[in-house]
């Protein structure tokens, strides 16, 4: 049957003829498999396998008004947490044979709007968005088109949008509380660029509020914003320590930042945690295996995004009104990158 698989003009008629069923049965098997008996479904799927037939997405859209595609908008894949997130989302949608179309924004809200618009034009049935910092007009467009969407990794959204996630500011306060318990009074923050990134902004706000609530200060010279590249992160730690050499702990806005800070600290012969405590946020798998392993906040990104997919699939399959906010849990994971603050001044090389 190799020649059948390679034939460029295989049609739904060929599949129906080989399976000895009607064209309508083939269409239902592809688009609504639950409506076809197991016996007929088996015959059709075997015919599709033997012929190499590939259903045309455009034809499917015309016949059913369903594209079978869901859009996911993420900032980048350079941060492992987004790869984990996408994996969780795609594993859930694959169960119901939905295609996932991924768009990246590079933390640019204008580019994000353009990418969302492209997804809408391509006929996606729903959209999962990272955070809630999108431009208002594009969210209004989604609502006007009655296109289901959900904001992930946050707990509040404009225009009554549905969300799944946690309070980023509150979660960061867990980190500060841990450092305060260790005795740290001079803390610095290494954070992703906050413009266009509501998660980073909230985490910075949480760190600042927790430090101030403890009667301490977080002056501007103890805050460095950086791009999410290791070279930029390393430079960010150097700038932070040069500007505020008194700090004894660095609060990183995510684990990628913590990894870069750890690399640079070791390059500068700064012992972690003896000379400098470092914390992360997200709990990459690698964070448990660095030397030392990193204290961080576990957010359960894989499961969170799987739940986001479940939410959208429920909307698409039942059109039921679902919960406005779906809360998820976070957990402080204490490892060996944090300890009591040093007594003597840090030696910078």
Helix (H) or strand (E) holding 191: strand 187-192
Residue 304 burial class via C-beta count within 10 angstroms: exposed 0-12, middle 13-18, buried 19 and up: buried
User: 37-43 contacts: CB < 8 A, separation 24 or more?
Assistant: 43/19
Under the banding of pLDDT at 50, 70 and 90, the label for residue 55 is low
Fold of 168-298: Rossmann fold (3.40.50)
pLDDT tops 70 at residue 61: no
pLDDT tops 80 at residue 321: no
Architecture of the domain spanning 2-64: Orthogonal Bundle (1.10)
Fold of 69-167+300-329: Rossmann fold (3.40.50)
The percent of residues above 70 in pLDDT, for the chain, comes to 92
What does 231-278 look like in DSSP terms, one character per residue?
HHHHHHHHHHHHH-TT--EEEESSHHHHHHHHHHHHHTT--TTTT-EE
Q: Residue 19's closest CA among 64, 59, 55, 50?
A: 50
Round the average pLDDT of the chain to a whole number and report it.
90
Q: Which region among 78-82, 206-210, 294-298, 319-323 has the lowest average model confidence (pLDDT)?
A: 319-323
Q: Tokens in use for 31?
A: 């688009």
pLDDT in tens, 146-172: 999 999 999 999 999 999 999 999 999
Diameter of the chain by CA atoms?
A: 83
pLDDT tops 90 at residue 14: no
pLDDT tops 50 at residue 62: no
How confident is the model at residue 41, as a pLDDT?
84
* Whether the domain at 2-64 and the domain at 69-167+300-329 fall into the same CATH topology: no
Tell me how far the alpha carbon of residue 329 is from its chain's centroid: 15
How confident is the model at residue 3, as a pLDDT?
39
How confident is the model at residue 4, as a pLDDT?
38
- Domain range list for the chain: 2-64, 69-167+300-329, 168-298
């Amino acid at each position: 049957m190799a020649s059948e698989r390679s034939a460029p003009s295989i049609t739904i008629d060929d599949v129906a003829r080989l399976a000895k069923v009607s064209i309508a049965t083939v269409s239902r098997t592809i688009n609504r498999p639950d409506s076809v008996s197991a016996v007929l479904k088996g015959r059709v799927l075997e015919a599709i396998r033997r012929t190499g037939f590939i259903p045309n997405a455009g034809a499917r859209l015309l016949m059913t008004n369903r594209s079978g595609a869901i859009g996911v908008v993420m900032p980048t894949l350079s941060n492992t947490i987004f790869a984990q997130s996408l994996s969780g989302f795609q594993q859930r949608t694959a169960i119901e044979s939905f295609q996932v179309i991924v768009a990246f924004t590079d933390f640019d809200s204008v580019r994000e709007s353009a990418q969302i618009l492209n997804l809408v034009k391509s006929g996606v049935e729903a959209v999962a968005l990272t955070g809630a910092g999108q431009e208002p007009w594009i969210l209004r467009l989604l609502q006007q088109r009655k296109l289901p969407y959900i904001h992930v990794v946050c707990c509040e959204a404009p225009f009554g949008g549905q969300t799944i996630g946690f309070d980023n500011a509150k979660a960061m306060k867990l980190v500060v509380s841990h450092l305060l318990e260790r005795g740290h009074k001079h803390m610095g923050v290494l954070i992703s660029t906050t413009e266009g990134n509501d998660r980073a902004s909230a985490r910075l706000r949480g760190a600042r509020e927790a430090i101030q609530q403890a009667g301490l200060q977080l002056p501007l010279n103890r805050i460095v914003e950086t791009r999410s590249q290791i070279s930029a992160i390393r430079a960010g730690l150097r700038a932070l320590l040069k500007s505020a050499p008194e700090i004894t702990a660095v609060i990183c806005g995510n684990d990628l930042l913590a990894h870069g800070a750890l690399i640079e600290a070791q390059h500068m012969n700064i012992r972690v945690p003896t000379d400098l405590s470092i914390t992360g946020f997200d709990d990459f798998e690698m964070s448990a295996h660095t030397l030392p392993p990193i204290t961080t906040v576990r957010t359960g990104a894989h499961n969170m995004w799987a739940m986001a997919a479940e939410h959208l699939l429920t909307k698409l399959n039942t059109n039921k009104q679902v919960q406005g906010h779906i809360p998820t849990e976070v957990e402080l994971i204490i490892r060996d990158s944090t300890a009591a603050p040093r007594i003597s001044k840090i030696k910078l090389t």
